Amino acid sequence: MRLENKVIIVTGSTTGIGKAIALRCAQEGARIVLHGLEEEWGLEVLDILGPEKAVLHIEDISAEGAAERLVTVAITKFGQLDAVVNNAALVASSNIQTTDTKYFERILAINTIAPFNLIKSALPYLEMQHGAVLNIGSVNAYSGEPNLLAYSVSKGALMTLTRNLGDTLFRENGVRVNQINPGWVLTETEIRRKKEHGLADDWYAELPSVYAPAGRILKPAEIAAAAVYWLADESGPVSGQVVDLEQYPFIGRNPPKDSSTIQTKNNQ
């Protein structure tokens, strides 16, 4: 197994991409610190993995001291920490008219500053294990959709954080830092959101080819499969890298006006 005996914190792992990563890492032999806001969903994931393989911590990742508490849970339960997956994020629509300072600060606190705090808190333990950090970003980091301004900026900042720490932490601490930028992913949250927007229950069955040349969008399990490589020792000395997981070049793709009813979003 590719992650045997490793202990991994996966933030935002009660649902969506984070849940898929947690389940796949456990299949590969890792012990998991689950995290999220939804205790009921988290307990369901914990029940799947079992108390010997996982522990659950429910808290807003942007709360003061949350990073330290999450690391403490890992060390108390399992005695070591080998990797951190910064997946928790707030995906919220906004543009320049609807984004005020307070709103912007909230998005940045969750999507950018919280990952930084968790990396910093985990660093002494990751250094002991020659561990790894995997940040889950978004293809929106490169410019973003018109109505994802604050979210896109926060993911752009996360990408710079990955590049910066991927260099310095590997050379100085032996800790690798890399990032996956998913495109449009069919999470539970995304299915529900589109239905709330008035789309059919099976809206994802027929998508404009401009968004889904393959005829479908990504599955959380496909992001999780890629995550294992970056968390495993087999990725060797590779650090500071950002990999886009999407089925078409995001930049320069101009969707036709008649497909504007479908808005792509990276959901975690």
pLDDT in tens, 193-216: 788 878 888 888 888 887 788 889
Q: What is the pTM of this model?
A: 0.92
At 190, is the pLDDT very low, low, confident or very high (cuts 50, 70, 90)? confident
pLDDT of residue 33 exceeding 50: yes
Question: What is d(CA 54, CA 42) in angstroms, rounded to the nearest whole number?
Answer: 11
Distance CA 36, CA 46 (A): 12
Pick the catalytic residue from 151, 211, 229, 248.
151
151 tagged catalytic: yes
Average pLDDT over residues 104-128: 98
Q: Determine the average pLDDT of the residues in 216-233.
A: 97
For residues 90 and 42, what is the distance between their CA atoms, to the nearest angstrom?
17
**Number of CB atoms found within 10 A of residue 30's CB:** 27
Average the pLDDT over 115-137 and give the result. 98
Residues of the chain with CATH 3.40.50.720: 7-183+220-246
| 185 has a pLDDT exceeding 90 | yes
94: which DSSP letter?
B
| Average model confidence (pLDDT) across the chain | 92
Domain 7-183+220-246, CATH 3.40.50.720 — does that match? Answer: yes
For residue 46, pLDDT over 80 is answered with yes
Q: Can you give the pLDDT at residue 70?
A: 98
What number is the average pLDDT over the span 3-15? Answer: 98
pLDDT computed for residue 248 by the predictor: 78
User: In whole angstroms, what is the distance from residue 23 CA to residue 38 CA?
Assistant: 17
